[in-house]
Structure 1
Amino acid sequence: EDATITATVKSKLMWNDHTDGMEINVDTRYGAVTLSGTADTPATRELAGRLAENTDGVRSVVNNLTIDASQPSSEIAEAASDAWITSKVKSTLLFSRNVDGLEINVDTNDGVVTLSGQVDSGAERDLAVELAESIRGVKDVDASALRTS
């Protein structure tokens, strides 16, 4: 159960707009979560603690995060991570009701997202591009390899 709690807390921190990209370590022992690393503001430190507290199975949280205002902002850290962008675009497409994310391949190089695969219509293609463009860190979207049936 501790491994599940750790994974859930890490996921919450990664997907939150204010805490993703920060250097936060999560350790769980018998439902007690310890956060360590750095946050860029006191508010972000507090938010990370609350996200951990509101996770199923968590009995207590020890928030050992320190404030480091010189740490690069999460936006810069995100933009530098093509792997992060790829996973965020892919999950956004998978969770969209109007796009068949399973049929779309996503690749990112220097912030430029390439979409390839098959979609049912031009409208679905346009929506896939729009969703990809909405992700922070995306500089451009190339959908020339995204075919319509």
Structure 2
Amino acid sequence: MAVAAKNHTDHRISQKGAIVSWLLLMILLLLLIGVVVYAVLGRSGRTARVDGSDVKEAWASVKGASQNAVTTSKVKSALALSKNVSAFDINVDSSGGVVTLRGTVPSQESRRIAEEIARDTDGVKEVKNQISVDHSAKPDPQMANLGTRVSDLELRTRLDDTLDKDSSLRDDDIKIDVQNGVVNLDGEVDTTEEKRAAEAQAWRLNDIKDVRNNLRVKGQEETDQPKDELAKRVEFELYSSRAFNLEPINVRSSQGVVILDGQVRSQAEKILAGKLAHDVDGVKSVKNNLSVMPEAEPSAPSTQPTE
């Protein structure tokens, strides 16, 4: 009995020891899992936070670089439109709204103009003008030609729009070419008045150096010699006054003397034509050979036979 009791007691102790060992093992296993999970999740969280910060920094860097590029492009475009500095190689750098200009120009005036253009550009907060002045600096031929070509294209577009808005000219076959500020008109128009009107519209544009009117009038042979500059200016003044029908009026000049030939509708028109011609710069005197058109005689009343 004593041995059986002892064996029973030992068995119970053994069972308890097994249970405790199992519990300890489970606790240790849970602790180990917890440590691993904490290590993994903690490190992932830190990585995520680092990665998020890196993304924000990268985005800010890209955004800043994009804004700098836009500002640089705007300043370069503005400089390219200036006749004073467009032909010179001016380097533009932008950082956070601060623009730095580098290069060489031939005068202090050009240097100041470049700075003011940059300062007036949208997005520019500050300008660091590091442009040097060298009176022997020469413009870049390619840039100079590009600026001239752009100016010519602008003039051609403006004249084309102007002629298109003129109801008497929009349907005519007029070809426009501009080279170094000189306008060439080619094509056909219906009347001499339209030919003169097209030339007058061209002279109205700013920056025009000369107009070569090669327009042909339908049904007429070209026998006239090209008009000299002074005669052109007188014709332009007559046209601008809107007081004359220029079809029957011919304007010539020789050594500063302007000769007016043809017909006008009244003595007042003849006097006005002479005065306008005399007021043109470069005219020394005017020979007014204009004659007044005879008034049409009133037609006799028709007589109806009486019954």
Q: TM-score range by the shorter chain?
A: 0.5 to 0.7
Quickly say closer, same or farther: Cα 1:112–1:92, change in 2 above 3 A: closer
Name the SS of the counterpart of 1:98 in structure 2. helix
Aligned to 2:71: 5
Whether the 8 Å contact between 1:39 and 1:68 is mirrored in structure 2 is: yes
Whether the 8 Å contact between 2:100 and 2:127 is mirrored in structure 1 is: yes
Whether the 8 Å contact between 2:182 and 2:208 is mirrored in structure 1 is: no
Superposed CA offset, 1:22-48 (max 9, x none): 221222233221111111112221221
Quickly say closer, same or farther: Cα 1:80–1:14, change in 2 above 3 A: closer
Structure 1 consecutive aligned stretches of length 4 or more whose deviation exceeds 6 Å: 116-120, 146-149
Aligned to 2:208: 134
Higher relative contact order, chain-length normalized (CA < 8 Å, sep 6+): 1
Q: 5 Å matches for 1:110-121?
A: 111=180, 115=184, 121=194
**CA–CA distance in structure 1, aligned partners of residues 188 and 96 of structure 2:** 46
User: Structure 1 stretch 40-49 or stretch 116-125: which is displaced more?
Assistant: 116-125
Q: 5 Å matches for 1:45-124?
A: 45-72=111-138, 77=141, 81=145, 83-95=146-158, 98-100=162-164, 106=177, 108=179, 111=180, 115=184, 121-122=194-195, 123-124=197-198
Q: CA deviation at 1:54?
A: 1.0
User: Percent identity of the aligned residues?
Assistant: 27
Name the SS of the counterpart of 1:21 in structure 2. coil
**CA–CA distance in structure 2, aligned partners of residues 114 and 48 of structure 1:** 30
Name the SS of the counterpart of 2:129 in structure 1. strand
User: Structure 1 stretch 14-23 or stretch 113-122: which is displaced more?
Assistant: 113-122
Q: CA deviation at 1:64?
A: 1.4
* C-alpha RMSD over aligned residues: 4.0
Name the SS of the counterpart of 1:61 in structure 2. strand
Q: CA deviation at 1:95?
A: 4.3
Quickly say closer, same or farther: Cα 1:32–1:89, change in 2 above 3 A: same
User: Structure 1 stretch 29-38 or stretch 51-60: which is displaced more?
Assistant: 29-38
Structure whose alpha-carbon radius of gyration is higher: 2
Superposed CA offset, 1:57-81 (max 9, x none): 1121111111111013x5x958962
Quickly say closer, same or farther: Cα 1:70–1:56, change in 2 above 3 A: same
Q: CA deviation at 1:105?
A: 5.8
Whether the 8 Å contact between 1:98 and 1:124 is mirrored in structure 2 is: no
More strand by share: 1
More helix by share: 2
State the TM-score, normalizing by the size of structure 2: 0.35
Name the SS of the counterpart of 1:20 in structure 2. coil
Whether the 8 Å contact between 1:52 and 1:58 is mirrored in structure 2 is: yes
**CA–CA distance in structure 1, aligned partners of residues 80 and 163 of structure 2:** 23
**CA–CA distance in structure 2, aligned partners of residues 119 and 27 of structure 1:** 51
Whether the 8 Å contact between 1:38 and 1:68 is mirrored in structure 2 is: yes
